[in-house]
Amino acid sequence: MTRYGTTGAAGKRSNAVVRLFRQIHGGWRKIATGAAAVLALAMAYHVIFGQNGLTVYQQKLQETQALARQLQTLQHENDVMKGHVDRLQNDPNAIEHQAREELHYTRPGEVIYTLPPDPASKDGANQNAVKP
């Protein structure tokens, strides 16, 4: 006896078609899932290691921090130099001190004594160590 009025040969053919359809459909589903997984991995790789990825972001962050530290150091040095310039423009004692230090100026009646470099200094010690 056949179900729902189908004959034996036609029922077998329809079952075979249904099974074939399910196999093909299931295969495409696996292929699509695999392609989606590969695409997700490729995108993850690009996000991490790409031109603007996380590694580049971390490098730029470190570079920004280093430049901020350098900027702070240079601003402090600039402030010190501005103070020095201000003192030289407004304080006669500062001008005299600078002239005495750099140009070795003296007042009338003063004598400047210059001493030879200390032989125990680092430069002297290195020169003595190099000589045979």
Kindly tell me the sign of the dihedral angle through the C-alpha atoms of 73, 79, 82, 83.
negative
One domain for residues 43 and 57: no
One domain for residues 45 and 58: no
pLDDT tens digits, residue range 110-127? 888 888 888 887 655 555
One domain for residues 62 and 16: no
Domain of 94? 52-106
Q: Could you give phi then psi for residue 107, rounded to 5 degrees? A: -85, 160
DSSP conformational letter for 40? H
State the CB neighbour count (10 A cutoff) for residue 13: 12
Single pTM value for the model: 0.48
pLDDT tens digits, residue range 32-46? 889 999 999 999 998
One domain for residues 32 and 77: no
pLDDT at 28: 78
- What angle in degrees, to the nearest 10, is found between the helix axes of 92-103 and 54-90? 110
Which stretches of the chain drop beneath a pLDDT of 50?
Answer: 1-2, 130-132
pLDDT at 42: 93
In a domain? residue 75: yes
One domain for residues 63 and 87: yes
One domain for residues 68 and 102: yes
In a domain? residue 15: yes
pLDDT at 4: 55
One domain for residues 57 and 102: yes
Of the chain, the end-to-end C-alpha distance in Å amounts to 117
In a domain? residue 45: yes
In a domain? residue 113: no
pLDDT at 8: 60
If one counts the domains in the chain, the total is: 2
One domain for residues 58 and 90: yes
One domain for residues 13 and 34: yes
One domain for residues 43 and 76: no
pLDDT at 10: 62
One domain for residues 59 and 31: no
